[in-house]
Amino acid sequence: MKCYMNVLGAFTDVERFGGRYVLMGAATQVLEGDSAEGGGAVISEWPDRATALRFWNSPEYAVARKLREDTGRFQVVLVDAEGIGAAP
């Protein structure tokens, strides 16, 4: 089942790991909860959760996570595409 990764506040290259960008936005507005207000947003699509986690835990992405350490507030959420309106 497809899985989506929503990153608020950071951008990175995901295509070589098997993901694709679905949405890239330059500014966000948080309507509820705490997050990176005013930062950017990226939603990437993955074949499944395991592939998304392989990207997240890869040595290459560890470098990106380290670079943004103590530079702001970030939120990363994985969402499986199941249920009403989910892609087949």
Sorted by where each starts, the structural domains of the chain and their CATH numbers stand as 3-80 (3.30.70.100)
pLDDT tens by residue, 13-60? 677 788 887 877 766 767 777 665 556 778 889 999 999 999 999 998
Compute, in degrees rounded to 10, the torsion defined by CA atoms 17, 22, 27, 32. Answer: -100
At 82, which amino acid appears?
E
Does the pTM surpass 0.75? The reply is no
Q: How confident is the model at residue 81 (pLDDT cuts 50, 70, 90)?
A: confident
| Mode of pairing for the β-strands spanning 75-80 and 41-46 | unpaired
